[in-house]
Amino acid sequence: MKVTDKKRLIRAALVGALVATTAASQAATSPPNAGTGKRPNIVIILGDDLGFSDIGAFGSEIKTPNLDAFAATGVRFTQFYTHASCSPTRSLLLSGVDTHRNGLGNMDEWTAPNQMGKPGYEGYLTDRVATLPQLLKDAGYHTYMAGKWHMGKAPNLIPAARGFERDFALLDGAGSYWDMRNFTAATPLSTFTEDGRYLKKLPKDYYATKTYTDKIVSFIEANRGDGQPFFAYVSHQAPHDPYHLPRAWRYRHVGAYDKGWDAVRHERLQRQIELGITPAGTELSERMWFLPDPILLAPAPRAILGKKMELYAGMVENMDFHVGRLIDYLKTIGEFDNTIFIVFGDNGAEGTDLFKMIAGTPGTRDYLFAAINWSQTHPNAWGDPGSYVGYGPMWAQASMTPFSQYKGYVAEGGIRNALIVSGPIVKRAPGSINHGVLHVADIMPTLLEVAGASYPKTVNGQESPPLMGKSWVRLLAGEEESPRSGQEYLAWELFGNRALRQGDWKLRWQYRPFGKGEWELFNLADDAAERRDLASEQPEKVKALVALWDDYVRTNNVILPSRVLSEGMEKKLPDRYPVEAGYPPLIYKRQFIPPANMMADPK
C-alpha cells in the first residue's frame, strides 16, 4: 500500500511516542540524511560460509569485481565479528540481542539435552525479541527478504511473521541449489516460503543464487515509485556446500589450485599486506596438524583436491555476478546512489565434512538415503543435481587467511569476517580501511538510527532484552575509529567452545583437540593467528578476563552443553604436534647430486 511522506512521518512519531528508545536511537532524532528529505534504502548482502579472504578486496585471487566495487567506494573493516555458525549469526543480525537470550543459544540441529526446553535455547528466533524488519516496517520501510532463513519453520516463525513484507526463503540451513532435495531420510525435502505461504514446488528455472536475486529485484520493482524506502535482506545460500553451480561457472580456475593450500595462503597473505588489510610481519596461522603438506601429495590427489577449490571459487564468482545484476537494476531505476550496502559472510569458512557427519556409516538409514539421493560422486558430475562437494579443512584455512581454524570454533577463523559498507551514510575516504572492533549485533542499532526508528521498551508484553551492539553512524561519518572502547568486551559461546575479547586481549576455551580444554590467552595486536598462548605468562590477565566471562554467563543465562560436537574427535584425529616448515627433514631431503667432476664409473 502506498504511503505518503506525511503519513510516514505521523506513523514514525506515533511509534516514537509509544516506545522508549535506547541511547543509540535517541541520538537518531535527526537521521543522517534528514536534510535530503529522503531516507536511504538499505541492502544487506550476506554470504553463507564466505571466508575472510575470499573477496578480491581482502586479498583473494577469486574475481569479485562487484563486491570489490563496494570496497572501492566504501569502507572495509578488518576486525568485524560474527558468531561461529549460521543461525546464531543471523539471529544477532536481525535482533541485536545475545543468542542466549534470543533463542539461538545453540543451533536447533545440535541442542544439548540439558539445554532443551530452557529459555534462550528454543532453536529459533523467539517472540521475546523485536526484529529489525519489524521495526523498519513500522518506521515506513518496505521490507524484503530472499534466501536462507534458518531461524524457524512454524507459521509464527517464518519471515512473513517476523516483519518481512515480501519473502522467498529457504527455511533450512542448507540444501540443493537446483531443487528441494535435503540431506536426511527424516527430512528429505527442504522447506520454502514465498510471501508467507509454504511452497509445493520451486520455479521451473530455479537455481538458488539466480532465483534469490530475481525475487529481490521483483519485490523492489513491485513497489517502485511509491515514495517509501526499502530494506532488502539478500541472504545468499552461496558459497555453502554442496557446491552446485552451472557448468559455465565450473571451469574458470582449472588447475589454478593444484599448487595447494599452503601456497594459496601465502599468496593471499602477501596481497593482504599490500592492500593494508593486515600489517607487515603478520604471520599465518599454523596449518592444521592433521592436514598434509600439499607438496608431498602425488599429482592426482592434489588435482582432485584442487578441483574442489575451483568449484568453490566458481560459487563465489557466480554470487558476485548476481550481486552485479542487483547493482545494475538499482542503477537503472535511479536508487543505487541512495542505497546503503552492508556486505559480509555469516561465519568462518566451513572446514567440517558436513555430508559425512549427516550420512553416517554404512547400514544406517541416512547412509542409504545419501547413496540414493546424492549419488553423483564422479568429479565430472560435481556441481550437478545429486552431487555433494565440500572443500574440506585445508581450503577452509585458505579462505580464512591469516587466521586460525574455521566455522564452528571460536578461534579467529570461526568468528572474524570481512565487512564492507558503502552508500550515502559513509563519509570516510572511498576505499579506506578501518581496524575498529565491530560486531554483527551492531547492525540493528545502526540501521534503527539511520531509519529514525526506535527500539521498543517491551515486546509482546515483556520487557525487551537489551541491544548488545553499538551504532556505526559516527564511525561511518569519520567521527570515531571504533564504536566501542578498549574496556568493553565481546563474548561468544557455541557448542561449549567459548571466547571473550577486551581490547587486544582474547581469552579462549575450546574442547580438545582444537583447544586445550583450558583457558588460553592471546594478544591479537601482534598475534592475530593465535599462535602464542600467553596464559602461563599472564595469569592476572587471565583472571581478570575470566571474571568478565563469568559476568557474561550470569547476564545472558549461558548454559554450557552436556553433549558437544567434539565428542570422540580427539581419538579420531592424529595426536597434535606443532607443524613446522621442513620438519621432519627426512621427507623433504632431495636426491644428493655429487659434483660432476667427481663422478666416475666403477673400477
- Dump pLDDT digits (tens) for 417-471: 999 999 999 999 999 999 999 999 999 999 999 999 999 999 999 999 999 999 9
Q: Per-residue pLDDT for 17 more than 70?
A: no
Q: What is the pLDDT of residue 34?
A: 43
In a 3-state reduction of DSSP, which class is residue 97? coil
DSSP class per residue in 179-216: SSB-SSSSS-B--EEETTEE-SS--TT--HHHHHHHHH
Strand ranges, E, within 294-346 = 339-345
Buried b (16+ CB within 10 A) or exposed e, 99-119: bbbbbbbbbbebbbeebeeee
Neighbouring C-beta atoms of residue 335, cutoff 10 Å: 17
Q: Per-residue pLDDT for 488 more than 50?
A: yes
Q: What is the largest CA-CA distance in the chain?
A: 106
Distance from C-alpha of 434 to C-alpha of 419, rounded to nearest angstrom: 10
Give the pLDDT band of residue 36 (cuts 50, 70, 90).
low
- Residues 83, 100, 142, 150: which is the catalytic one? 150
pLDDT over 90 for what percent of the chain? 93
Q: What is the pLDDT of residue 35?
A: 46
Distance from C-alpha of 266 to C-alpha of 162, rounded to nearest angstrom: 44
Distance from C-alpha of 20 to C-alpha of 208, rounded to nearest angstrom: 40
Q: Per-residue pLDDT for 29 more than 90?
A: no
Give yes or no: 100 in active site: no
State whether the Cα torsion 387-388-390-391 is positive or negative: negative
pTM for this entry: 0.93
Give yes or no: 150 in active site: yes
Q: What is the pLDDT of residue 11?
A: 40
Q: Per-residue pLDDT for 89 more than 80?
A: yes
Q: Per-residue pLDDT for 137 more than 60?
A: yes
Mean pLDDT along residues 192-207: 98
Distances (CA, A) of 547 to 254, 466, 542, 544, 561: 52, 21, 9, 5, 20
Least-confidence region, from 6-20, 214-228, 345-359, 449-463 = 6-20
**Residue 492 bridge partners (DSSP):** 499
Is residue 386 left, alpha or beta, with left meaning phi > 0 and alpha meaning psi from -120 to 50?
A: left
- Residues 83, 86, 236, 244: which is the catalytic one? 86
- 235 closest CA partner among 295, 172, 178: 172
CA 4 to chain centre: 37
End-to-end CA distance of the chain: 101
| Overall size of the chain counted in residues | 603
